[in-house]
Amino acid sequence: MINKNIIRGGVFLAALLCLAPLTMHGQSDNDTLIVEITVAAYAGYTIDIDTSGEYATIGIAEIDTLNAHTGCIMIRPVFPGPWGDTAVAEMAGLPRFFIFEWEDGANLDSLKSVYQALASVETSRIPVVFSSARPPSDIDPNDTYFSAQWEHNSANTSLNTKGDAGAWDITTVSSSVTVGFIDSGIDQDHTEFYGRIATGYNLYSGGSNTDDDQGHGTAMAGAAAAKGDNNSMMAGVCWNCTLLPVKALRPVSGSAIGEDDVIAAGIAWAVDHGADILNLSIGNSDLSIDVIPVMEAALKYAYHRGVPSFAAAGNTGIQFIDYPARSEYCIAVGAMADCGSGVRKRIGTDPLGVTCDYETSWGSSYGPELEFIVPGVALVTTTIDGSINYISDPNALASGTSIATAIASGVAALVKSVDTSLSPSAIRQILIMSCTDLQHTAGFDWNTGYGKLNSRYALEIAQAESGGYVWL
């Protein structure tokens, strides 16, 4: 059930500009709402947007009357289409979301309320801002694993990827499996991705320039898919998979942020342009947010098109999973350390007293929606200067549930390569079944989900389910 009382979850920073055939998302001086039309209104009226007059109209009488009163100057669809599957798009509700725009200085809280009161409006929302789920870095440079990728090498906490009994002994994935990164873009010239970056989309410029100007997307792509066994800098999880960059985050004050309508449009675009796996290393930790309708519609569309979405649990270290990881259509990924039980919590909040990695500025969020935990502390990954973070600055290794999510997406790509017909629910179930329980109580718990992800076991389960083997 959608909670219509959800309030704004951040500072509003975005509006939209129109560019056919897709909507170009960017900043303007105007104020916007995301308005969702009810199923009945969408079915009972012919949507006919007209912005040529003194106020914008949509073809629904009560909305047009209110637009005249409020001075709405522009209306645009969030998901303009065409979609890869119109029936699934309509089932998910994509055609029912619109951006309404007013001159700068509009009272958005009042506008939200008056539009929400209309019988033809399901939800009326101020856009919500999401940020890359990356915590501050306070890595101790004297840690013994700085010069290595412990997520692949640690005896106790690794993904079980390398060696004769590792996942890579079965497959390193072919280029036929595509991972979509809804992020800040990917460094187009990085040697770790040579020949494997598909033509993506920039939601802000409206074109195909998805070069990364912030760094977060490149870091996520490296953890998931840097080329392995090539006498170069590092190895990701899926060495040969194709990367599909969708630029839906922009640099602001050293971080990467994006608005809900921009990210939602990016999700739908990626699904329609070949993504087999979606990586959402983003999150909003506002406790007042239950679900965000425009995002939920896009995630539902992806799920029913057969594309699983992996999202970061969050870095607040509290009992609350960020959105969209909390969505029923996402797989929520937490972060673990290479010490103790692997549980990644802040000092003083961990019921098990696990503080062995000495990172005190953040913790992996936990709760009933958490599926499993993945290495996410002090990891080597790619940077936008064509290098890796360990070479650029050994004190700035990557930590957080963002990069843990990217690793999980890489494992999902391995699994998908075994059987490309696997549904999102089947992939989720295989990954859960592969997990090694880490908590004192057997089975699922809120701190670690189903436990530590094991890539080798996941592939063996997928092989057993499909009845075959893949050697690449």
Would you call 216 a catalytic residue per the annotation?
yes
CA dist., res. 306 & res. 237, Å (int): 22
**Which of 158, 327, 364, 402 is flagged as catalytic?**
402
**Which of 25, 152, 216, 304 is flagged as catalytic?**
216
**Which of 183, 211, 322, 445 is flagged as catalytic?**
183
Would you call 402 a catalytic residue per the annotation?
yes
Pick from 431, 362, 447: which is nearest to 400 by CA? Answer: 362
| 335 in Cβ contact with 377 (< 8 Å) | yes
Would you call 183 a catalytic residue per the annotation?
yes
* Residues taking part in catalysis: 183, 216, 402
